[in-house]
Structure 1
Amino acid sequence: MKTFILEKTDQVRWYTNMRDVFEAANIAPQDYDWYVSDIETNWRPPGFEPDDQWFTGDELAAFLHAHEIQFIWAVFSAVPKGFRPIPALAPYVEDNPRYWDGTEPEPQLEGALFEIACWDSSGTILINLPAQVIDSFVTRYPNTKPLATARS
């Protein structure tokens, strides 16, 4: 099982606060480059446009440290530092049937190591994260479950 979801729980103050997600999963954003797409947020910090965009890990960490922001919709695709493929189709979560069609979804961005999707401000979907990362996340949020069980 490589895909998990956290939803329908009172274990979080609010879903899809990526600062909290990274902390719970013990992910250092600085270890990757990030393509963030399908972005809708609860507010727009000055200078931030919700267009699909690349962040270095340092840029993303600084942005999340400086702003308490909830991503209502977004896909965070982690790639090795310095690797920036041109997306044929930007990863998306809203109305994406891949999450719910009964198959095990893979990261949408070619070359992505893993993907974290913010789903309608009510769930966080973790795709293809390493086992120790999932273990850390589940330790913090025990109501995390395989996505397949959420579909049934």
Structure 2
Amino acid sequence: MNLILERTDRVSFYTDMRVVFDAAGLRASAFDWYLSDVETNYYGTDFPNDDRWIPGTELERFLTTHTVQFIWAVFSAFPVGYRRDITEAPYVDDNPRYWQGVEVSPQLSDALFEIVCWDSSATLLIGLPDDAVRRFTSAYPETRGLAAASQNRHI
């Protein structure tokens, strides 16, 4: 089941990935990541917004030492050590696929799951493992199924 978290007062700000990982009971270091379509409120030099592969240990280290809001981003999770050429990077800004009222899968077909930061106002969880879904919805009971929520949404 795909999820969306929006309209809650339980978070200081949406798309704080450290909080998302904690709520889902996931460790960024347990995966390697393909990050794409990234825009943040971080202006330092040690975390570029370029589409790229990043080891989970590096992502976890960054998230634990910086408070960052990901305005737009797609985090595609892969087994540690996995790499392949990406010819068409996942994107979120102006991507209507999430709002069609049907279950979608990660944009990269071999990704384990995908976490999407939507315009600083929502977090979408695509294909998350069942245990992570249970943990996340327990932490944020106002989380809804994305397909049902998207039927009444206009982007």
Stretches of structure 2 lacking an aligned partner (at least 5 in a row): none
Matched residue, 1:49: 48
TM-score, scaled relative to structure 1: 0.95
2:101–2:148 Cα contact (<8 Å) kept? no
1:99–1:105 Cα contact (<8 Å) kept? yes
> RMSD in angstroms over aligned alpha carbons?
1.0
1:36–1:77 Cα contact (<8 Å) kept? yes
Matched residue, 2:107: 108
Letter in 2 for 1:112: A
Matched residue, 2:126: 127
Matched residue, 1:87: 86
TM-score, scaled relative to structure 2: 0.93
2:3–2:124 Cα contact (<8 Å) kept? yes
Shift of residue 149 of structure 1? 2.3
Displacement over 3 Å in runs of 4+? none
Letter in 2 for 1:3: N
Shift of residue 9 of structure 1? 1.2
Identity between Structure 1 and Structure 2 (%): 54
Stretches of structure 1 lacking an aligned partner (at least 5 in a row): none
Kindly tell me the number of residue pairs found equivalent between the two proteins: 151
